[in-house]
Amino acid sequence: MIVTGNFQSSAAFAPAIFRFLLKALAALLLIVFVVSTAGATSRVKDIVEIEGVRDNMLVGYGLVVGLNGTGDSLKDGHFTKQSLKSMLNRLGVKPTDSGLDSKNVAAVMVTASLPPFSRQGSRIDVTVSALGNSSSLLGGTLLVTPLLGADGEVYAVSQGQLAVGGFSTGGAAETVTKGVPTSGRIASGAIVEREVGFKLNLLDNVKLNLRNPDFTTARRVADAINAFLGVSAARAMDLTTVNVLIPNHYKNNVVNLLTDIEQLRVEPDQLARVVIDEQSGTIVMGENVRISTVAIAQGSLTIRITETEQVSQPGPFAQVGTTTTVPRTDIQVKEDGDKKLAIMNSGVSIQEMVNSLNALGIGPRDMITILQAIKTAGALQADIEVM
């Protein structure tokens, strides 16, 4: 009876363990699927830009003072001299031409980027770059400089102490320069004086611009948005733009709509493209690059010419003859004979192509020539872009 009772309890317990293992396996498969899917997709916010939500470039002309003899030469820098005289005149000082011989002033260009929705009184960073023949801006102070937009209006005013990362020093025989001493930054060095008017919450529609234009990606973004909203509100206008109509429950609350949309995940599509930088020998190939059936052989011919001069002189106690040099030339021709012919079948992947070319002992620069030759033969199903 005791044995029978134990057998029945074990038999009743086995299905429970089996169901638990099935649930655990299903949960594990679900986790793997979600991770793999998330890894192959990107958030909408990472592949699009919202029309109207953009930076604005600002630029200004100013003077940096307080330099330790590394400023512009006023004798040669006419615009620096004129700017200095104009500034002093506004401050009530009437300088003469003979009195302007300072080497502690430099004319500079000030640039900044005005972020979207910047409000009056907020601060932005600025970059200061020498315009004249100043050798260093280290230790300089930028005087009040208006920063203009493309429309000629003043949007910010900059002033402050420069932070210069580079320096230059030396003596009569040697000079040491690190970084760029004629360029510096002022953290929070400009105050916003004018706002760029843009009422985001009053829009009836929002346009999303793809960073990498593609018809397939644009349609996938529109489909993902429509699936999330439950209505047909998004439509791909072209390979760059996706137009989204604001649903009724998001009226006057476009920020919430954009917050929800930008978290959606989409798998971007891309063109088959090979990017080549011949200066550095860099090759970047997309995963969609394919090659038709082609045979590749790569060999190298090396010719080395060595010139060695030998001294020729007469023998001991010779009555005639002079010592002279006689040229000797050594020519060596070497052709690598261990290179083999490789055949790539139609539709090989990028990994297979790289493995095959590496098997031939081909370096990046030789690979560039081979890829261009394959493209010329019509076997490379991708665009080649040379930087």
The CATH number of the domain holding residue 215 is 3.30.70
What is the span of the domain harbouring residue 162?
Answer: 56-168+178-192
Give me the chain's average pLDDT, please. Answer: 80
With CA atoms as reference, report the closest residue to 132 among 192, 67, 190, 54.
67
Task: Give the CA distances from residue 180 to residues 65, 135, 141, in Å, rounded to whole numbers and listed in that order.
Answer: 18, 10, 17
* 37 domain residue, yes or no: no
Q: Answer yes or no: do 234 and 300 share one domain.
A: no
Which is more confident, 273 or 257?
Answer: 257
Q: Half-sphere exposure (CA, 13 Å, Cβ side) for 67?
A: 27
Examine the domain organization and report whether 86 and 133 are in the same domain: yes
Given a contact cutoff of 8 angstroms between Cβ atoms, the answer to whether 137 and 179 are in contact is no
In a domain, 6, yes or no: no
Q: Residue 6 pLDDT > 70, yes or no?
A: no
Q: Looking at 51-60, 133-142, 262-271, 298-307, which range is the least confident one?
A: 298-307
Cβ atoms of 142 and 210 closer than 8 Å: no
Position of tokens 């790539």?
344
Q: Which of 237, 266, 295 is the last residue of a domain?
A: 266
CA distances (Å), origin 344, targets 140, 209, 300, 341, 351: 62, 39, 21, 10, 12
Statement to judge: residues 362 and 238 lie in one domain: no
pTM above 0.75, yes or no: no
Is 341 inside a domain boundary?
yes
- What pLDDT digit, counting tens, does each position of 175-232 carry? 777 788 999 999 999 999 999 888 888 889 999 999 989 999 999 999 999 999 999 9
* 233, 119: one domain: no
Report helix angle 254-261 to 215-229, nearest 10: 120
Examine the domain organization and report whether 67 and 185 are in the same domain: yes
Helix, strand or coil, per DSSP, at residue 14: helix
Whether 244 and 281 map to the same domain: the answer is no
Shared domain check, 148 and 74? yes
* Residue with more model confidence, 253 or 319: 253
pLDDT at 8 over 60: no
The answer to whether position 46 is within a domain reads no
Instruction: Say how many domains are in the chain.
Output: 3
Q: pLDDT tens digit string along 333-350?
A: 665 655 555 666 666 666
Q: Residue 357: phi, psi to the nearest 5?
A: -70, -35
